[in-house]
Amino acid sequence: MLPIDLSGRRALVAGVADDNGFGFAIAKSLAEAGAKVCVATWPPALNIFRTLLDRGKLDDARRLSHGGLLEFERIYPLDAAFDTMEDVTPDIRENKRYRDIGDFSIEGLAASMLKDFGPDSLDILVHSLANGPEVRKALIDTTRTGYLAAVAVSAYSKVSLLKHLGPVMRRGGSAVSLSYLASIRAVPFYGGGMSSAKAALESDTRMLAYELGRARGIRVNTISAGPFASRAASAIGVVDQLVTFCAQNSPLPEELSGAEVGNTAAFLCSDLASGITGTTVYVDKGYHAMGIAVAGTAPKRED
């Protein structure tokens, strides 16, 4: 028997606001492997997420194989568009969904974790953050502001998190992020600079693996997951069609589950993957290997 054992390790999953996305699935798999899990949530969704947890609305999704529930050590507010509170614009500061929750910047998250757990207390960082305000626009129609916003939140935030969490992360830790095939292939409807952001994320994964591997023995990988009908992915408008089309045209002709991505992340963060870093791991039923479509109708959006 060769189990994935993360007992005694602490993980932070940045980008969990419900039970529907890859971030939640990864958090659950990490907990199944024995890790203690903290999450960071976008401030506008924070109170709703906490209310759902308090009222037991997510209990079914939180159920672990041994019968207990996935518990979060801490739930932190995080808007990954801001490295420090000095970067926050007045309109955000005064917004009712932000103004009473304290420091929601990346620096603030790191400071809170350092205060709560002390130095060298974090073993695993999961970057499950992506936002493209103009994702429904073709790249040629994307504004500079929209393009840079997509790259800032979806890619640079990983760099910033690893930088600011440096004092909190233990030597020999692991970081995992979530990419998508649009980083290397043209995927219609995935616009607004998001394809460029995913390409940057994968490039940064390689460079960070080198820099942090040499400096602190930290491994850095990314998972290129297939399309998944999460609430966040619904922003592109054709995600259900993408899920069906990819299932019809993959070597394993079936839809991807969140647990399959979560279990891969748990493996990459475990000692079983001690020789893997700087790598993009495809978890998409093999769709990335296909050169032509073999079934179904290509997705079509009617705006």
Amino acid at 290: M
> Which residues make beta-bridge pairs with 282?
224
User: Token pair 């993009």 is at which residue?
Assistant: 280
Active site annotation includes 147: no
Handedness of CA 151, 153, 154, 160 (dihedral sign): positive
> Pick from 71, 10, 14, 72: which is nearest to 40 by CA?
14
Residue 21 CA from chain centroid, whole number = 9
Asked if 266 and 33 count as a contact pair (C-beta separation under 8 A), the reply is yes
Phi-psi region of 4 (alpha: psi -120 to 50; beta: other; left: phi over 0): beta
Catalytic residue among 180, 210, 282, 287: 180
Asked about 76 being catalytic, the answer comes back as: no
Query: Which is catalytic among the residues 190, 210, 282, 287?
Result: 190
- Which residues are marked as active site? 180, 190
